[in-house]
Amino acid sequence: MKFNSEDYLEDQLKKQFDQEVKTTCKQELNRQLFEVSEELEKKVVCRSIEALQQMVRQQVLTYADITECFWNRAVRLQEYNAVISLNPDVVKQAEKLSYSEEHGPLYGMPVLIKDNICTEGMPTTAGAAVLQDFVREKEAELISNLKEAGALILGKANLTEWANFMSTDSSNGYSAVGGQTRHAHGRFDVGGSSAGSSVAVALCMAPVAVGTETAGSIIYPASQNGVVGLKPTQGLIAQDGIIPISVTQDTAGPMAKTVKDTYALLQGMTTLNEELPKWNVTALDACKVGVIDNLELTDTYRKEDERIIEEAEEALDEAGAIVREYSVLKEALTIDYLPVLKHEFSRGVSRFFSEATDRKLTLEEVITFNEEDMEERAPFNQELLIQSVADKTTPKANQKRVDANCDKARAALDQAFEEVDVLLTLSNYATSLYVASGYPAVTLPGFKRTSGEPVGVTLIGQEGQDVRLLEMAYALEQAISHHVE
C-alpha cells in the first residue's frame, strides 16, 4: 500500500484501534502518583518553558513541583502508551535544583527521551522484547549535554519498534515493550516512529521530548499530533548512543508545543554555532517562500490538503512573505534510500552492541529470538530485519548510492535556494529532499482537517541554518495562530 493513500491510512487505523495487539511483553508503568494539588497542576501542565521558569523565579513553585506534575500526568494518561518508563530518581534530582539567572532555559525542565537513546541507569529498549533489560553503561552524548544544561530526564518515550525499521506491515507507534501508542486527539494515525514523544508533548506529559529521525520519524508524528518537530541539519547532533538504523540519515531532534521551546531543547542537545535567535514576528517579511508543487508530491495529497496549503499561503501573505509555487528537480522526490538503510542497519546494530560492555547483540540473534515466539515478540513480522541481514551490498557500492542520493537532493535544494529563502510543504511529503541531503526541516501545528486531524506545515531550510529556519518558523507559527482564530 502506498504511504498516505486511503488504503494505507485505513489499514493503520484498523491496527491501531480495531485490532490492537496486546502481548505479555508490554511493560506497565506501575508508578505511584505524587500528592499534587489540582491548583498546582493547572499552573504547570501545558505551560511553556519560559512561563515555568518565571514561576520558579517568582517562587510560585519549585522544579520538584514541576517534575511531580508532569510525572503524574504521564501516569494518569498511561492508556495512551506514550511513555515506556519513568526515571525513579527524577524528583529527588529536581529537589536539588534552585533557580539562578545564570542558568539556561532548560535548567530544571523534565524531558522525555525516545527509547532508542541510551540513558544512564535506565533500560533502552527500542521497543523490542530482546532489549527489555538492556542498560548501556555509557549514555548518549546528547543526554550528557542535556544534563549539563540542567535538564531532568523524566523517562523514556514509546516508539514504533526498532524506529519503524522492522516491518513494512508495522503499526505506527507499536512496540512489543511499549504497546500501541494512541493518537493524542482521536481516531487518527499516530505516525511514527517518534510516536510516544509527539503524543507525550501533545498531551502535556512533558514540556519537551526528544525524537529521532531517519526518514520522517520526527516530522510525520509531530505533524499528526499537532506539535512542533525539528529534523536538524545532519551531523548537528551526535549519533553516539542512539541505537542505529543508518549512519547516513539518523539524527535526534527536539519536539515541543512551540518553536521557542523546540529551540530551547535543541540548544541543550548540542553546541550551536549560529547566532542567538531573534524571535520576531517580522522574520518572514519580504522572505521568499517556495511552495513545492511538483506533481510527484501533489499526487500524494489527501482530501483537504489543497485547502490547507491555501490557508498556509494566506498566513504567509499576512506575515509579509513573498509566496510562489515552486517545482524542485523531480528526481529528488523519487530518491530510493531504502537500500541504504537495509545495508547500514545490520552493520550499525552489530557495531553499536559490540561496544556495549554487558551485551553483545546482532540482528541475526534478534531474528532468532523473535522467531521463538512471533505472536508475542514480532506480531507484524520482521522482514526488514531479515532483509538487512541478507544484504550483500559492498560498502563501496553503498557509499556510491549514498553519494548519488545526496547529490540529487542537494542539487534540487541548492537550485531552489538560489530563488527562494525557504521551501514549504505539508507533513513529511517531501522527506526524500531533506533526509538524503541532510538539510534541516521543521513542521508546525495549527491546521486541521474537518475531522479534527492535525496537519503540520513543514519548512525546509538551508544546511547549517537551523536557527534561521526556526526564526522563520516562529514568525509563521504566530501568523498561523492569528489566521486560524
The 3-state DSSP class for residue 128 equals coil
Catalytic residue, chosen from 85, 175, 193, 198, is 193
256, containing H or E segment: strand 251-256
Active site residue 48: no
What is the grid cell recorded at 304?
483537504
Catalytic residue, chosen from 217, 246, 346, 388, is 217
Helices (H), 137-204: 141-148, 161-164, 195-202
Burial 60-97, CB ≥16 within 10 A → b, else e? ebbbbbbbbbbbbbbbebbebbbbbbbbeebbebbeeb
> Based on the number of CB atoms within 10 Å of its own CB, is 403 exposed (0-12), middle (13-18) or buried (19 or more)?
exposed
Whether the CB-CB separation of 99 and 89 falls below 8 Å is answered with no
Q: How far apart are CA 247 and CA 285, in angstroms?
A: 38
Active site residue 193: yes
Distances (CA, A) of 15 to 105, 128, 181: 40, 18, 11
Which residues face 98 on adjacent strands? none
First-last CA distance in the chain: 37
Active site residue 388: no
Where are the strands (E) in 403-453, listed by range? 422-426, 441-448
What is the grid cell recorded at 361?
547483540
What is the grid cell recorded at 294?
511538483
Whether the CB-CB separation of 189 and 94 falls below 8 Å is answered with no
Catalytic residue, chosen from 15, 114, 156, 408, is 114
Whether the CB-CB separation of 85 and 178 falls below 8 Å is answered with no
Please list, in sequence order, all residues whose beta carbon lies within 8 angstroms of the beta carbon of residue 113, skipping any fewer than 6 positions away. Answer: 119, 143, 153, 155, 156, 157, 209, 210
Catalytic residues: 114, 193, 217
